[in-house]
Chains A and B, each alone.
Chain A
Amino acid sequence: MNPAALIPTPDAIPVPWGWFYVLLMLTFLLHLLVMNAMLGGGIIALISALKNGKQDNLIGKEIGYKWPYTIAFAVNLGVAPLLFVQVLYGQFIYSSSVLMAVWWFSIFGLLILAYYAAYLYDFKFEALGSLRVFVLEFAVCILLYIAFMFSNNMTMMLQPDAWQAYFENGSGTLIMLSDSSLFPRYLHFVVGAVAVAGLFIALIGHFNFIKSAVNKEALISKGMKYFTYATAIQVFIGFWFLIALPKQVMMVFMGGSAYGTGLLLVGIILGFAVLYCGYKQMVIASSSITLIALIDMIFMRDLVRIAYLEPYFKVSDLVVKPEYSSLILFLATFALGLGMIAYMLKLAFGCRKEVSK
């Protein structure tokens, strides 16, 4: 059977695809940052709990304070890119989701458990004592599971030729284990998350958003260490991921496309630059370069998607039935929302100062 015959007919979009593309990239970047802090933060908290040193425990406690926030925002900021990816690539992601429906469905239920575990860890840090490590293991395992399922779905949605497995198994339990890019993709995200979370805790220290009794210097130094080690490992995983891609996809970054090759080169250079900055414990420089590297990487990720789907579809194929008034509704709401957020943060930070006085 021709895999293209399986691809559902997409629905029309109300404004040209560029709008959704920009919104997708922007909100995905935000999601990525917070999600990394959540997942990597959890992993670092777990490693710290296993080490069980004094500062390690305090780092764990400090992460505990921030952890529920990161989950809340990782979910919220995940909703937006998932919405926009459904607008642009719905016919792919809905299909692959059904193929792995059991795993996909389990995600939000498990996430609720992980979320409550995070609150338990936060609110009952002291009372839990040595049980903390189990709570962390429970929550981190769930988050790692969810990350794996995301990697699986993002891999499967790009490969309609793999969808035919549905005819052998329609019960929603398919996994792309045989796909060579699945594990490097997964590790690329998980290790990346540890690096970004390392930066996150270093930044907490740097800007003194510390709530626990953790030593500021220790927090920065540990954070930068996690960042640097993870980034160093990431160099190898990134290479593994690259060569694990199907040839026509890989070649986009190996001379097939000047744009793609350029992005890869920039990424490599930024990677080494950031390793240096990390080694030197330069928090702000590392953070700035990492942000640029992340933007570089989400564009590369987008190119991977385009190359995979190239035989079947490009977003410019989508039919547009223009209705700009609804876009205006959103933009107005977005502006209002940003205004409300700014105002509320102003009140909140003002309050912080009052209290500290």
Chain B
Amino acid sequence: MNYPVWDLTTFGGGFIIALVAVVHVLVSHFAVGGGLFLVLLEQKAYKQNDDGLLGYVKKHSKFFLLLTMVFGGLTGVGIWWTIALLNPAATSSLIHTFVFGWAAEWVFFLTEIIALFIYFYTFGKMERKKHLIIGWLYFFSAWMSLFLINGIIGYMLTPGAWIEDHSFWSGFFNPTFWPSLVFRTGLSLVLCGVFGFVTAAFLKDAKLRQNIMRTCAMWVAIPFTLMVAGGWWYFNSIPEPAITIILEKSPEIANYLQLLAWAMPIFFIASMVMLIRLPNSFQRVFCFVIVAIALIYFGAFEFIREGGRRPFIIYDYMYSNQVYVDDVPEIQKNGFLTKAKWTEHKEITPDNLLAAGKDLFKYQCSACHSVGGVLNDIMPLIKKYDSPFGMDSKLNGLGKLNHYMPHFMGTTEERWALASYIVQELNGINPQDTANLVIDAKELPVTIPPFDKEKDEYVLLAWNNLGMHCISDSDPFWILLPPANDLYAQLVKRGDSPEIITEGVEISYQVQEGFEYPEKQVQFWNYADKLLGANLAPGVGVGGLKVSGLMNLEEDHAAFTAPFIPVVPYPEDGSFNPFPIFTITAKDKETGEILMTTKTVAPTSTEMGCKNCHGGGWRVASVAGFTDETSLDVLAAHDKNSGTNLVERATNGEPMLCQSCHADPVLGTKGDPELLNFPAAIHGWHANFLTDREGMDACVACHPSRPDGPTQCFRSHHSEFMDCTSCHGTMEDHSLSLLKHELEAGKKGAARLMENLQARVVDSVEDINPRIPWMNEPDCLNCHEDFDMGSTTDAFNTWTAGGDELFRNRHDQMEAMMCAACHSSPHAVYPATLNKLGENRDSIQPLQYQGNDRPIGNDCTVCHTVQPDFEGHHPNSLR
């Protein structure tokens, strides 16, 4: 941000420096070890009076001069040249911190050149002893160059105490200095043998050639141990978190680690092949093969070393994108563009949104990512993002859970600009084409069943227990919720003292026309055995019920229930209808006489917004359902982040239920006790990508609660002055309450997810009360104190003590009527006129029994034939 950035696109992402550096390091290490090789072989030739060997040394010295001094020397300058173009801020830092280290290295570069010229041009002309001295001086100079550069390179990965004291010496003799020096010295000696093969292979004298081949093979073999030992020591000297990034986390490094693991033994074995007397024609080719293997081996090592530094160029001091670590707090507060010197757009306006985004990409992303290039191409990584929202969320979470990328640096407006640029310019997507559709409310016909207040003896109340059941119809890949909706019913015999009837009656439920065959709409039944370990006949739910049947008595509740009805929101006409209506009928068991009939909705939605970030679009009617693409991407992300093989399993026909590993009270799964429970895991993870969102923006990204969406699950009158966050807290608060419980339970994953989350509704994480999902929930009485009107809308952070205290499980003070029987289900308590498919759809029973949309009992005479004068159900019930 301090310097201009070279707009490289295709050749970005470190391609240029990799190109220069890999070839340079191979030759430059050879330049070091080669000095010793020459002088020791020369000495040997003198001792053994071996003219053949001496002739070889002289020939090799010419090759050495031409390769190391010209190519090695200039590519070395080239690296400096290149880093100054690609990362001037870091180069400036290295130059200014170590200027006299560089200057000292320059002195040895000079003596190296002079020594090598003299060595080469006086070969055979100078007194032997003196000529050897020149050789030794060359080796000394070259090794000192290595010594000095090694300190500076090591400093970039492990600056050690320099971060605190900024002393030349602390940076130079950093924690990896010595192990790296041993490794590089070993390597430089190994390379002498490698390049020795090349010159030896072209010797004409077969005997001499084979002797030298064997000598060279020993030059590979013996220092190989030094190199491997140094390499091992080096890896063990790299501190956390860099070593974890190298060995476990970085998707970029994993391939190079594997390459290194393969290349090392192959390199050794290939070199040892040269011990064998082989046809010269083979040797002439194979010597270059060994050079290529060495290049791959060492290239992989350098990529790992560079990759291990992510997201820094100088660890803990400067990010790869030239931003100083110390500057980040100010940038987060005041913005990146105002701080950056080389940006044209200092403030974001609708007109410059994409141009500002482009600048942000250039200054924050392009240091590591090419656009359509060979290295770290951004295009496949962003391909799935078809909306600025998804991309923005990804940027929001960068560097929080995986530390190989930095956080996005800047304001939320800047983040949005970058996201818009990526989606619109790089992905070429018009966000209007992919935006979630705005769905207007409509009136689907609902026939209110008859009720004759004068004649009818029974009142039948029926409801769904949650107000909304979600289904992930991603069945071939995974599920988190199978098709399952729970209906409840209570039958009341009217009278002066009304009575709940639980015996001698039969209560049936019947789905509305068009929804009778869920097995034709989703693939759940093809995979139920894999997903749930249950062999379910098509159309039968996990509780053994179909979409029509009889309800069972649940005595504790004095209610009839039909658990896990496998209804899906897809009528056979191919549309999306999240509010199918069930007809509930109570009959006399003996006579078969119909006592009362009513209707209720079974809210069921597949409007789960995974696709907003995971791509793939909606499967059904452009508004809901999982495509294969979305489902697979969710698994791919899980595999990448948690080291699982879910994609492989799914593609082999073994999809999984998320909760089989992540325990979940609502499904009753135990999961893996080491892992976070499911709600904590899924909210905690995604909260890192959805921080600081307004209102329920974060909630609607995943849940079917978007006010302009096709479901709008929160449809009671509360939704006119409250939103999800009023009771559940913001995404951060909600997640923290779940994670905090897991943290206290000793789950190791919790701290990582909590690290970057800040409480918003309350002052701090300490103030958040931990809770078990589905058991400890916000309660109506948090606001409606003593069943009064309520003077607040803040219901967050006070939880029910257990599952039996939940609104959906509670009864009135006589332990008779269930709360939901009269008030309807959570999220849709009466009056619930905001149903997207019709204002009466959620109010069938109040309209049927009392002619209005208020809670049942608004008119006591619905059940009480004589107006009661005491508040039997709850205080204020006669208000």
Listed in ascending order, the chain A residues whose CB lies under 8 Å from chain B are 1, 5-14, 20, 23, 69, 72-73, 75-77, 79-80, 83-84, 86-87, 90-91, 94-95, 97-99, 101, 104-105, 107-109, 111-112, 115-116, 119, 163, 166-167, 170-172, 321, 323, 325-327, 329-330, 333-334, 336-337, 340-341, 343-345, 347-348, 350-351, 354-355
Contact = CB atoms under 8 A, between A and B. Distances in A.
A321 B165 CA distance: 11
A108 B102 contact: no
Given A14-B99, A69-B117, A101-B6, A91 B92 contact: yes
Contacts of A101: 6, 85
Most-contacted residue by chain B among A77, A326, A345 (CB, 10 A): A326
13 contacts: A76-B110, A97-B85, A98-B3, A105-B85, A108-B78, A108-B81, A112-B70, A112-B75, A170-B4, A334-B104, A334-B107, A347-B134, A348-B134
Interface stretch (B30-38, B122-130, B703-711): B122-130
A92 B285 CA distance: 49
Interface in B1-54: 2-8, 16
B749 interface: no
B829 interface: no
A172 to B, nearest CB: 5
Question: Main SS of chain B's interface residues?
Answer: helix
Contact of B84 (A73, A87, A97, A345): A97
B323 to A, nearest CB: 13
B344 interface: yes
A345 B108 contact: no
B113 interface: yes
B169 interface: yes
Given A330-B103, A347-B126, A116 B96 contact: no
B82 to A, nearest CB: 7
A195 to B, nearest CB: 26
Nearest to B169: A325
B671 to A, nearest CB: 52
A99 B342 CA distance: 11
Contacts of B69: 72
B641 interface: no
B584 interface: no
Q: How large, as a class, is the contact surface on chain B?
A: 35 or more
Contacts of B4: 6, 95, 98-99, 163, 166, 170
Given A72-B69, A98-B6, A104-B85, A6 B118 contact: no
A327 B75 CA distance: 27
Contacts of B126: 347-348, 351, 354
B70 A116 contact: yes
A296 to B, nearest CB: 26
Contacts of B127: 351, 354
Contacts of B141: 340
Contact of B130 (A326, A329, A347): A347
A107 B6 CA distance: 16
Contact of A8 (B2, B74, B113, B169): B2
Given A9-B2, A344-B118, 12 more contacts: A11-B97, A23-B103, A76-B73, A98-B85, A108-B75, A115-B74, A329-B104, A340-B137, A347-B126, A348-B118, A351-B126, A354-B126
Contacts of A167: 344
A166 B91 CA distance: 21
A112 B27 CA distance: 14
B133 interface: yes
B117 A75 contact: no
Contacts of B81: 104-105, 107-108
A111 B74 contact: yes
B395 to A, nearest CB: 22
A119 B77 CA distance: 19
Contacts of A90: 88, 92, 95-96
A95 B108 contact: no
B381 to A, nearest CB: 23
A8 B96 contact: no
Contacts of B66: 116, 119
A86 B95 contact: yes
B84 A355 contact: no
Contact of A11 (B96, B101, B130): B96
Contacts of A341: 110-111, 114
Contacts of B8: 172
A337 B107 contact: yes
B107 A94 contact: no
A187 B668 CA distance: 85
Most-contacted residue by chain B among A12, A76, A343 (CB, 10 A): A76
B100 interface: yes
B117 A72 contact: yes
B638 interface: no
Contacts of A107: 81
A8 B339 CA distance: 11
Contacts of B118: 344-345, 347-348
A94 B386 CA distance: 38
B168 interface: yes
A97 B109 CA distance: 24
A330 B110 CA distance: 14
- Chain A to chain B: the 7 pairs with minimum beta-carbon distance, closest first: A94-B88, A337-B107, A330-B100, A11-B96, A333-B104, A170-B7, A108-B78
Interface in B388-412: none
Contact of B109 (A76, A84, A351): A76
B166 interface: yes
Contact of A327 (B2, B100, B102, B110): B100
A172 B111 CA distance: 35
B614 interface: no
B861 to A, nearest CB: 78
Given A98-B85, A99-B4, A119 B70 contact: yes
A11 B78 CA distance: 23
B106 interface: yes
Contacts of A337: 107-108, 110-111
Contacts of B166: 321
Contacts of B107: 330, 333-334, 336-337
B78 A98 contact: no
Nearest to A7: B341
Contacts of A330: 100-101, 103-104, 107
B74 A344 contact: no
B734 interface: no
Contact of B113 (A76, A87, A116, A354): A76
Contacts of B774: none
A112 B81 CA distance: 14
B92 to A, nearest CB: 5
A323 B168 contact: yes
Interface string B420-440: 000000000000000000000
A239 B382 CA distance: 58
B263 to A, nearest CB: 27
A343 B78 CA distance: 30
Nearest to B73: A75
A178 B96 CA distance: 33
Nearest to B74: A112
Contacts of B99: 13-14, 20, 83-84, 87, 326
A80 B113 CA distance: 15
Contacts of B80: 79
Most-contacted residue by chain A among B103, B127, B133 (CB, 10 A): B103
Contacts of B110: 76-77, 337, 341
B89 interface: yes
B74 A108 contact: yes
Nearest to A336: B107
Contacts of B268: none
A73 B134 CA distance: 18
Interface string B127-151: 1001001100100010000000000
A94 B92 contact: yes
